[in-house]
């Protein structure tokens, strides 16, 4: 049964009330010959001074309705208007579909959402903002910072990613980290250990591999050091100066402490003090240590107790460059004629650059003040010779001005 003019307004009101947008999801297209009008669905009223047009569509129906004041001139105006989307009334008229005026439109609420494959217009496409894709490969971690919360938090802590990325395994480790599960607990552990906030960046830059360690293993290693009577302040100092210390197992730490105690013949306290001052002894290679011990005994002629005394005062002597050690000893002992027992009292000379020792000795020789025998007057100790700044050395030791010293250096 066709809709009567009295039923038409009620039907139209119901259609508007349930929204044309929902009907648009049905994806129908309205066309007229030679021109595509819509993509998807659209229903907009076309209004002129003489008539009003409404167009709608859903599912497989295509409907149109025209009503006018039955004026022949109005029908001709409709036919001549190229912008209308409805066929001319001069063409074969279409009968208005027979709908029940009381039909329910609740079914429109059950329309499925738009498919991801639903075509869109170019205007809609340019408004889509997509996140940049994750680079499949890169030479720098900087390309991944925007995609990784872990990297973002590490940067805020002061970690230098440009240094870390030089290691081939670093990126694979860091990009798999979850901040809450893998990083946060390690940071809290380090803070409890005594590492300050402003020290975390430098520490993690050197030892990013600590994130691959199990937290319980780290706690076990700290507990082992405490069992060897290392204080909390000692452990903090050791971890700060040797960031990889806690990456080593308890067995390795125990073997290293035993090695130094046995090789150097030190008691427990001196061994503990030695590694606190130079914790790299527990993490570095033992080959330089073994080599230097042979150099002191066999090449330089020091006794075992003399070696013990020197390394407990200057632990770096255990890892110093072999060539530097032999050159300094040769100049001090053979050129300056300073005996072994005097050198043992001032081992700081092995921690000094050779050219500095030469310059000051030659200047004192030029002034006639190069006297290093403690049993004679005007004795000059090796400690004062190498440790004082130029101004103090010239004034107190050489009894000359800095200008005189600089002029002398130009003659060398």
Q: How many CB atoms lie within 10 A of CB 97?
A: 12
Half-sphere exposure of 289 (CA within 13 A, CB side): 16
Name the burial class of residue 65, with classes exposed (0-12), middle (13-18) and buried (19+) by CB atoms within 10 angstroms of its CB: middle
Contact partners, residue 383, CB within 8 Å, separation at least 6: 346, 348
Helix, strand, coil share of the chain (percent; to 5): 55, 5, 40
pLDDT of residue 42: 37
Angle 212-215-220 from CA coordinates, rounded to 5°: 120
Is 223:193 a contact under the CB 8 Å cutoff? no
Alpha-carbon distance of 292 to 298, in angstroms, equals 10
pLDDT of residue 81: 45
Alpha-carbon distance of 296 to 284, in angstroms, equals 20
Name the burial class of residue 246, with classes exposed (0-12), middle (13-18) and buried (19+) by CB atoms within 10 angstroms of its CB: buried
Helix (H, G, I), strand (E, B) or coil at 264: coil
Alpha-carbon distance of 94 to 84, in angstroms, equals 16
Is 171:141 a contact under the CB 8 Å cutoff? yes
Helix (H, G, I), strand (E, B) or coil at 37: coil
pLDDT of residue 283: 93
pLDDT of residue 152: 82
Q: What is the 3-state secondary structure (H, E, C) of 50-116?
A: CCEEEEEEECCEEEEEEECCCCHHHHHHHHHCCCCCCCCCCCCCCCCCCCCCCCCCHHHHHCCCCCC
pLDDT of residue 35: 38
Q: Which residue has the tokens 């993509």?
A: 39
pLDDT of residue 254: 95
Alpha-carbon distance of 350 to 332, in angstroms, equals 10
Q: How many CB atoms lie within 10 A of CB 366?
A: 15
Is 235:241 a contact under the CB 8 Å cutoff? no
Name the burial class of residue 45, with classes exposed (0-12), middle (13-18) and buried (19+) by CB atoms within 10 angstroms of its CB: exposed
Alpha-carbon distance of 202 to 209, in angstroms, equals 13
pLDDT of residue 127: 74
Is 47:84 a contact under the CB 8 Å cutoff? no
pLDDT along the chain (412 residues), means of 10: 49 49 42 37 39 39 39 44 44 50 49 65 71 54 65 82 78 78 91 91 90 93 95 95 94 94 91 95 92 94 94 93 94 95 93 94 95 91 91 93 94 88
Alpha-carbon distance of 319 to 289, in angstroms, equals 6
Half-sphere exposure of 116 (CA within 13 A, CB side): 0
Closest CA to 235 of 296, 194, 174: 194
pLDDT of residue 61: 37
How many residues make up the chain in this entry?
412
């Amino acid at each position: 049964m066709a809709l009567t003019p009295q039923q038409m307004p009620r039907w139209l009101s119901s259609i508007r009330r349930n929204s044309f947008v929902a009907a648009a999801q049905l994806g129908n297209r309205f066309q007229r010959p030679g021109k595509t009008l819509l993509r998807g669905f659209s229903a907009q009223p076309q209004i002129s001074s003489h008539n009003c047009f409404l167009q709608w569509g859903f599912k497989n129906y295509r409907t149109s309705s025209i009503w006018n004041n039955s004026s022949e001139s109005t029908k001709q105006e409709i036919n001549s208007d190229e912008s209308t989307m409805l066929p001319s009334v001069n063409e074969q008229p279409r009968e208005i579909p027979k709908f029940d005026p009381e039909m329910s439109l609740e079914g429109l609420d059950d329309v499925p959402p738009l498919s991801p494959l639903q075509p869109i217009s170019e205007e809609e496409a340019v408004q889509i903002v997509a996140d940049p894709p994750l680079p499949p490969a890169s030479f720098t971690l900087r390309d991944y910072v925007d995609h990784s919360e872990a990297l973002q938090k590490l940067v805020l802590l002061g970690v230098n990613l440009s240094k870390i990325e030089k290691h081939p395994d670093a990126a694979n480790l860091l990009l798999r980290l979850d901040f809450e599960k893998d990083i946060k607990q390690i940071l809290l552990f380090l803070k409890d250990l005594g590492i300050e906030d402003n020290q975390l960046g430098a520490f993690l830059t050197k030892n990013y591999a600590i994130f691959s360690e199990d937290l319980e293993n780290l706690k076990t290693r700290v507990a082992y050091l405490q069992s060897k009577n290392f204080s909390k302040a000692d452990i903090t100092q050791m971890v700060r100066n040797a960031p990889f210390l806690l990456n080593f197992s308890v067995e390795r730490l125990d073997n290293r402490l035993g090695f130094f105690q046995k090789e150097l013949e030190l008691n427990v306290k001196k061994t503990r003090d030695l590694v606190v001052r130079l914790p790299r002894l527990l993490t570095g290679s033992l080959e330089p240590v073994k080599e230097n011990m042979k150099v002191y005994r066999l090449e330089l002629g020091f006794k075992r107790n003399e070696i013990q005394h020197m390394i407990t005062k200057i632990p770096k002597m255990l890892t110093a460059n072999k060539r530097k050690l032999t050159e300094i000893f040769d100049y001090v002992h053979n050129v300056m004629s300073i005996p072994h027992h005097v050198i043992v009292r001032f081992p700081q000379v092995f921690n000094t650059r050779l050219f500095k020792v030469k310059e000051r000795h030659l200047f004192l020789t030029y002034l006639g003040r190069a006297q290093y025998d403690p049993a004679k007057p005007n004795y000059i100790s090796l400690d004062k010779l190498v440790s004082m700044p130029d101004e103090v050395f010239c004034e107190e030791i050489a009894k000359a001005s800095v200008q005189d010293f600089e002029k002398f250096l130009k003659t060398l």
